[in-house]
Amino acid sequence: MSYLFTSESVSEGHPDKVADQISDALLDNFLAFDPESKVACETLVTTGQVVLAGEVKSDTYVDVQAIARDVINKIGYTKGEYQFSGDSCGVISLIHEQSQDINQGVDRDSKEEQGAGDQGMMFGYATNETENYMPLALDISHKILIELAKLRREDDAITYLRPDAKSQVTIEYSDDNVPQRIDAIVISTQHDPFNEDDDAMLAQIKKDLIEILIPRVKEQLPQYAQDLFNKDITYHINPTGKFVIGGPHGDTGLTGRKIIVDTYGGKGAHGGGAFSGKDPSKVDRSAAYASRHIAKNLVAAGLATEVLVQVSYAIGVVKPTSILVNTYGTSKVNLTDGEISKKVAEIFDMRPAAIESRLKLRNPIYSETAAYGHMGRTPRKEKLVFNSPYNGTVEKEVELFTWEKLDHVEEVKNAFDL
């Protein structure tokens, strides 16, 4: 019997994502001026206020208030009627120095012997149901909100959009796990109060999103995904009605509260650790990226059609306590998952310092990850400029989303005789 599977996404203007983007912008600025910075920054946003907290060990100093305000303005919270604006909000910093008890387990005389910044388990996942090896429902959910943000900034085809939004896509699958059709799409978008008649206003929003937004999203998809759109899709557009009050004024936002949106939309598994605001010595982040890198390369190499990778660590210990590869019974080689796991551990060095080096994680690359998912993105090089009243200007060429590179496919094929 067929079944339904659902994933959701949230926009860059969602309060939790505002918090994530501020935390990662702080991290990037610390890393730009001191690549060895140890950072764990948390952000809370609410009506007219931003609270920054966390621990930092760094040889540099950054203007955290200016950085937070710049992020908020870039997202689009620039008007007084939003009750949250980068130019007028209060910014309180409670950031202090990292505990020496933690730091002594991470920093070592030899970089290669760097210990894990915390205990825990991390997961990476990949599936061949999309070109970027991501779950399809999540991929479409992200694309809906990316395109909605473009429409908001264009301020032409749809002129009333505000920054806060959420999307959700439900797909019907066959018994053999093949997508058959899109069953439902949910979109809630914050908007200006452009009509005194709430019913007429909601009808206009629904019409615009179905007739303008959805075709633009559909055009970006390969033909097999376009074919899943059908006349019987159930659309829930702003199902509660008017959505004028939103953003941090409507709901308090916190760093790390959208970990499923950030990863695989409910497919695979999640160890529970958030990403944003954490430097790569925190394996919650770096090992999750490395696990995705492994899973994607295994699927791309043809080892299996679906792969979940789990890795675990003890705080201050160099080598992972476990590495597991689960192929969900889709393996194309005559090996057990346990045997596959042992070979994978030989190919990919999962010591924290090795992960940092292999994926070039000691660079200011994280702001780009803080909205629309950390996984499934396109790796690329980019020149970034950072300005500081204390340190001057630094320009860096960095590689973004290195964990999405298919740079180990041939090695995997050779190791497994594929």
274 annotated to bind ligand:
yes
14 annotated to bind ligand:
yes
pLDDT tens-place values along the chain, 418 residues long:
799 999 999 999 999 999 999 999 999 999 999 999 999 999 999 999 999 999 999 999 999 999 999 999 999 999 989 999 999 999 999 999 865 544 555 555 556 667 777 889 999 999 999 999 999 999 999 999 999 999 999 999 999 999 999 999 999 999 999 999 999 999 999 999 999 999 999 999 999 999 999 999 999 999 999 999 999 999 999 999 999 999 999 999 999 999 999 999 999 999 999 999 999 999 999 999 999 999 999 999 999 999 999 999 999 889 999 999 999 999 999 999 999 999 999 999 999 999 999 999 999 999 999 999 999 999 999 999 999 988 899 999 999 999 999 999 999 999 999 9
68 annotated to bind ligand:
no
Residues β-bridged to residue 315: 116
Count of Cβ atoms closer than 10 Å to residue 196 Cβ: 7
57 annotated to bind ligand:
no
In the numeric block, the tokens 């492994």 are attached to: 294
Domains, the chain: 3-9+136-247 (3.30.300.10), 120-128+280-416 (3.30.300.10)
377 annotated to bind ligand:
no
From residue 118, give the alpha-carbon distance in Å to each of 39, 107, 255, 278, 318. Answer: 13, 13, 18, 11, 11
166 annotated to bind ligand:
yes
258 annotated to bind ligand:
yes
Task: Using alpha carbons, select from 253, 315, 309, 334 the residue that is nearest to residue 123.
Answer: 309
360 annotated to bind ligand:
no
42 annotated to bind ligand:
yes
Q: Cα–Cα–Cα angle for 262, 221, 412, nearest 5°?
A: 65
111 annotated to bind ligand:
no
287 annotated to bind ligand:
no
175 annotated to bind ligand:
no
